Structure 1
Amino acid sequence: MTLADEEKREESWIRRHAIDVRPLRHVAYRRLFLGNAISFFGVQFTAVAVPVEVYAITKSALWVGIASFVGLIPLILFSLWGGAIADAFDRRKVLLVGSLLMWLTTLGLLAQSLLHLDNAWLMLALIAAQSAAFGVNSPVRQAIIPALIDNEEVAAAQTLSFTVSNIAAIGGPVGAGLAIAAVDFSAAYAIDAVLFTVALWAALRLPAVPPGGTKATGGLRDVRDGLRFLAGHKLILLTFAIDIGAMVLAMPKALFPAVADQRFGASSLGWLYASIAIGAALAGLTSGWIGRVHRRGIALVLAVVGWGLAVAAAGAVPWLWACVAFMALAGAADMISGVYRQTVLLSAPDEMRGRLQGVFFAVVAGGPRLGDLRAGSVADATGVTFSWVSGGIAAAVVAVALGLCFPVLLRYTDRSD
């Protein structure tokens, strides 16, 4: 074999296994990707600071769960409504308004921290407001992507988005831990507020993306039409169901402050919050094979089973390094399942994408919040370890049960969407 042949072979291997970056050829998508990447990093500072500040005020894992759960209702309502708005109006304008609302709620969290109000009820109100803003912002952020790239690049764009968000979720929690330790919670909120201005810039620079082929008005009738469309698509419903089971039963984030306080020490907090993202980012960077999997339904179920078992193992081990390693494995499995679920969703007609993305974000963001409430309440009643381990095992069992009871999920292939 000549040197040239060997170089071609290595290049071919890299192309097959490394992350697909073709969507970045498109200027508008590249600008949106850059804004998302930088703002995702800042958002992680707030994502860590909020539960840790709530725990510092209340000294209760249940309150951490409640703080996560309290945003669920506005998240669901505004995700559904935000998706309908995204199908009725220029998606660039909707994205800009949603981003501005998120930025203002972060400034509110910064203000209460600078004033040292230490009021858990005020924190709950700000969390609810931020959830509402997130509900408006997130569906349109995803629904706008197919308009900026070629159709065959949608799966690659989703993988890029998942990967960059998880890379941000590695450095963000570590940085948040350092900022909180060096200054206080206000430093974390201030960093988020500054970095989120890049997302505002990216939204401003996008081209107009008017609704296509739809008579939607952004009202309740449009929400109902989206739900009716969803009700007729069993595969999409099953991808929602398997994700809800995984997140509600096995998401252990509400337990991280208590575990750091009782078991591993304060310095472990950043590692615990970054652990899921470490695995997801590594999986994303080596994700070239994901798009070539034919039996995607089986791969999806196996990924969710892997998530649950890895979470259970992480909760059972007594060493921080092992806990982080197992949670990283869980994060890799979650990234793989997320790509397949999102690819199914984005195969829907363009005039329905906003509304379906609204439902999707109500599921993917609402599930972990319910999971936080479950984990915190069970931990207060039975102990942190039992809550963590039993939830992971239950999530794996539910994934297998859904696959066996609904064969259409296992029959999902790369040609099903």
Structure 2
Amino acid sequence: MNDDEPAHTGRPRALLRSLAPDLAPWRASRDFRYLWTSGCVTSFGSFLTYVALPMQIKELTDSSFAVGLIGAVELVPLIVFGLWGGALADALDRRKLVLRSEAALGLLAGLLLLNALLPRPVLWPLYLVAALVAACDGLQRPALDSLLPRIVAHQHLTAAFALKSLYHNVASVAGPALAGVVVAFSGVQTAYALDVLTFVVSLLLLARIRAVPPPTGAERPSVRAVLTGVRYAWSRKDLLGTYAIDTCAMLFAFPVAVFPFLASELGANWALGPMYAASAVGGLLVGATSGWTSRVHRHGRLLVVAAVGWGAAMTLAGLAGNVWVVLLGLALAGGADQVSGIARSTMWNQSIPDEVRGRMAGVELLSYSVGPQLGQVRAGTMAGLIGVRAAVWTGGLACVAAVLTVAAALPRLLAHDDRTDPHTAAVRAAHERAQQEAPAAA
């Protein structure tokens, strides 16, 4: 602050600067800029297909069961190829693995487009492509997640995840709305064509990232290598706590499946769209004011507080009889989930050694992908037994209880401090050595 600047104007500016997203990774890493822009482009394209695919199945079958089968055909490929993708990410050039799987995803979007252009589109290829997309996503996600610590400085990892979350949350809010307009006015063919175009742009950006070869002496991909990664995860009780808490939060308090029934029970069918978007809005607000997260060191405690906040907010959404309070609860839950994601990602990226980072990313993929699937089943089942609103608020309370139980059972999670944690110190030292040997260009 300048000497002649009034104190009452300097303080708000300082507060805004402390809350503004930390742009250090964007400024420091050329490869991060390409990776971020690629993700921004392709996430919007993916939401086009995310909306168009179930819409096309509905038009072909007029069956809610047929639409629901999409999730069933995706689950097993995601689990199997997520674990295998982690082993590949530790043994191969991660950039090449990301590029090849991105190209495969683009080709699959092209197949959807070709099928949609037929005079009479066929149903079964839609399920086959959905399963193959899940498999490719499982192969790509561990390499994509484990790529970040190799292209971003160790001290910038928290800020890098927060910046990535910004485009994801913007896409989560704007993507479905844009997709709905495109599908309604131009048809699913246009949605698939635009998705193919975004993959082309994404590939051009990813191709400019420098090679990211595997660590020296990397273990060859095998079932044994996968099991080695699982054993490492089990040996790290702080990491185990992050997986357990995320699974509990999604299992007990992920009521998206009952949103249509909740909106109807509240007499506000118009609120169904806002219900789906509310959590992303909350996450976007946290991402846009995430500067403070770079100054947090006890990420285990932050994770527990955020997960309790998620459960408490879902409890509020279930108990509220007013639709605006429900939307507020869902937005608060989304904000808490964003904080939880920042805490988890920071712990993972700062403390997991590079030689097992891909396999750990595969385990992480399971923890945050399987939980929501099971949560949908729980919410739907409980809604049938005790009612829609009760299914939501009891799940929120169960989430709070489960999170506190996990925290009590795994004290190493609460004790985690990146200033004193030996795993974090070892990874930081290895990162600094790698930078000295082959300094990254700005």
Q: TM-score, normalised by structure 1?
A: 0.89
Relative to structure 1, the CA distance from residue 143 to residue 111 in structure 2 (aligned partners, 3 Å threshold; closer, same or farther) is same
- 1:218 aligned residue: 221
Does 2:374 align with 1:374?
no
Percentage of pairs with the same residue? 37
Select which of 360, 378, 383 maps to 2:364.
360
Does 2:305 align with 1:306?
no
**DSSP 3-state at the match of 2:276:** helix
* Pair member with larger Rg: 2
Deviation at 1:248, TM superposition (A): 1.9
- 1:79 aligned residue: 82
- 1:229 aligned residue: 232
Deviations 1:38-59 (A, max 9, x none): 1112222333444555567465
- 1:18 aligned residue: 20
- 2:343 aligned residue: 340
Find the aligned partners of 2:114 and 2:288 in 1 and give their Cα distance: 38
Q: TM-score, normalised by structure 2?
A: 0.85
Relative to structure 1, the CA distance from residue 158 to residue 356 in structure 2 (aligned partners, 3 Å threshold; closer, same or farther) is same
CA contact (8 A) 1:174 1:271 kept: no
CA contact (8 A) 1:55 1:257 kept: no
The farther-off stretch of 214-223 and 182-191 is 182-191
- 1:147 aligned residue: 150
Deviation at 1:366, TM superposition (A): 2.1
Deviation at 1:389, TM superposition (A): 3.1
Does 2:241 align with 1:247?
no
Deviation at 1:2, TM superposition (A): 3.7
Relative to structure 1, the CA distance from residue 319 to residue 174 in structure 2 (aligned partners, 3 Å threshold; closer, same or farther) is farther
CA contact (8 A) 2:299 2:344 kept: no
CA contact (8 A) 1:247 1:367 kept: yes
**DSSP 3-state at the match of 1:131:** helix
Q: Which runs of 5+ in 1 are unaligned?
A: none
The farther-off stretch of 171-180 and 280-289 is 171-180
Find the aligned partners of 1:391 and 1:180 in 2 and give their Cα distance: 34
Find the aligned partners of 1:68 and 1:157 in 2 and give their Cα distance: 30
Deviation at 1:272, TM superposition (A): 2.8
Deviation at 1:333, TM superposition (A): 0.3
Deviations 1:166-192 (A, max 9, x none): 111111122122233334444443333
Residues paired across the two proteins, number: 415
Relative to structure 1, the CA distance from residue 326 to residue 86 in structure 2 (aligned partners, 3 Å threshold; closer, same or farther) is same
Deviation at 1:35, TM superposition (A): 0.5
Deviations 1:172-229 (A, max 9, x none): 1221222333344444433333223222122211111111223322222221221121
**DSSP 3-state at the match of 1:372:** helix
Return the letter of the residue paired with 1:226.
G
Find the aligned partners of 1:241 and 1:338 in 2 and give their Cα distance: 13
Does 2:280 align with 1:277?
yes
**DSSP 3-state at the match of 2:22:** coil
Find the aligned partners of 2:390 and 2:227 in 1 and give their Cα distance: 40
- 2:179 aligned residue: 176
Report 1:31-42 matches (<5 A).
31-42=34-45
Find the aligned partners of 1:72 and 1:84 in 2 and give their Cα distance: 19
CA contact (8 A) 2:146 2:357 kept: yes
Find the aligned partners of 1:340 and 1:88 in 2 and give their Cα distance: 27
Find the aligned partners of 2:196 and 2:20 in 1 and give their Cα distance: 33
- 2:435 aligned residue: none
Find the aligned partners of 2:131 and 2:263 in 1 and give their Cα distance: 26
Does 2:348 align with 1:351?
no
- 2:105 aligned residue: 102
Relative to structure 1, the CA distance from residue 328 to residue 47 in structure 2 (aligned partners, 3 Å threshold; closer, same or farther) is farther
Relative to structure 1, the CA distance from residue 185 to residue 383 in structure 2 (aligned partners, 3 Å threshold; closer, same or farther) is farther
Find the aligned partners of 1:322 and 1:184 in 2 and give their Cα distance: 35
Find the aligned partners of 2:186 and 2:249 in 1 and give their Cα distance: 36
- 2:33 aligned residue: 30
- 1:43 aligned residue: 46
CA contact (8 A) 1:65 1:377 kept: no
Find the aligned partners of 1:340 and 1:94 in 2 and give their Cα distance: 27
Find the aligned partners of 1:314 and 1:113 in 2 and give their Cα distance: 39
Relative to structure 1, the CA distance from residue 145 to residue 264 in structure 2 (aligned partners, 3 Å threshold; closer, same or farther) is farther
Find the aligned partners of 2:67 and 2:238 in 1 and give their Cα distance: 34
